[in-house]
Amino acid sequence: MNSDPKVQDQINIIQTTDISRVYRMGSEVIYALKSITINIRKGEYVAFMGTSGSGKSTLMNIIGCLDTPTTGQYILNGYNVSNLTENALAGIRNKEIGFIFQNFNLLPRSSALENVAQPLIYAGWGTEERLEKSYEMLKKVGLGERAKHKPNELSGGQRQRVAIARALVNTPSILLADEPTGNLDSKTSHEIMDLFAQLYSLGHTIIMVTHEDDIANHAKRIISLKDGLVEKDGINANFIEPQLLKQL
């Protein structure tokens, strides 16, 4: 049970109650998640930890509204999203969730600025306003001078910073990072984790999915999954509160 004093008086932004996810492949039934009940409060920094087959990726997909549970209830920032249609889920995703992926998922023929602006297009922003907002966000992650560069003209760490700027630009309720350092070297991984710490210190809610202990240890709370169930859930004893160095 989470007992983080920083967030204990704040509202739950994520509530799952006995959610399961069952896949049927012919006559075979696969229980990817069996019964998951978790609460995550606004402003928390949480890692979903587990080996391949533990259920962490399935849980991430449900938390990120990329999938729905077979049974149980999922409340995201006050919305019951357990049984929404694909179109309704897409709307919730664009409004509530900023995604950061291992493979960056940037549009190869678009500039860094155009990539960051993508969520604002779907949100109905005008061209001038969205480009201005996107440029400001690129500057905040240290890439203002790379705004016109395409992904293949950027390093792995720079591409992940573009992805982080894109995730932040629509002011989402949560940042959902799937193996965010999986394609980065050790030095760049630490730089990205430092940026995450900075975002957490500014009050962002961060959920990170990883199978690596050293990456999970950057989070304040670690939820370990095994065989589709929560094995452990608690505050990370190794966590060091980051100092606020700059505004993002």
Does residue 116 contact residue 138 with C-beta atoms inside 8 Å?
A: yes
- Identify the CATH number of the domain defined by range 43-66+85-235: 3.40.50.300
Checking 229-232 for CB contacts under 8 A at 24+ apart, the result is 229/34, 229/35, 229/36, 229/55, 230/36, 230/37, 230/38, 231/50
H/E stretch holding 205? strand 205-210
Residue-level pLDDT at 7: 43
Work out the mean pLDDT of the chain and round it to a whole number.
91
- pLDDT on residue 9: 45
- C-alpha distances (whole Å) from 163 to each of 35, 68, 100, 111 are 32, 25, 6, 12
pLDDT in tens, 164-195: 999 999 999 999 999 999 999 999 999 999 99
What pLDDT sits at residue 245?
52
Q: At 98, is the secondary structure helix, strand, or coil?
A: strand
Mean pLDDT, to the nearest integer, of 199-204? 92
The reported pLDDT for the residue numbered 111 is 97
Which residues are paired to 75 by β-bridges?
Answer: 15, 80
145 by Cβ neighbours in 10 Å (0-12 / 13-18 / 19+) ranks as exposed
Instruction: At 213, list the tokens.
Output: 């202990």
Query: For the sheet containing 12-25, what is the strand order?
Result: 28-41, 12-25, 71-76, 79-80
Instruction: List pLDDT tens digits, range 32-66.
Output: 999 999 999 999 999 999 998 999 999 999 999 99
Segments making up each domain of the chain, as ranges: 43-66+85-235
Query: What's the mean pLDDT in 219-237?
Result: 96
- Alpha-carbon separation of residue 236 from 4, 69, 152, 233 (angstroms): 10, 28, 37, 9
| Average pLDDT rounded to a whole number, residues 215-234 | 96
pLDDT reported for residue 11: 85
Convert the pLDDT of each residue in 93-129 to its tens digit.
988 999 999 999 999 999 999 999 999 998 889 999 9
- Under 8 Å between Cβ of 188 and 142: no
pLDDT(4) > 70: no
How far is the C-alpha of 50 from the C-alpha of 58, rounded, in Å?
A: 11
Task: Kindly report, residue by residue over 19-30, the tens digit of the pLDDT.
Answer: 999 999 889 999
Torsion sign over Cα 231, 237, 238, 241: positive
Residue with tokens 């008086």, as numbered in its chain: 9
pLDDT at 142: 92
* Neighbour-count burial of 246, counting CB atoms closer than 10 A to its CB (0-12 exposed, 13-18 middle, 19+ buried): exposed
Residue 248 has pLDDT above 90, yes or no: no
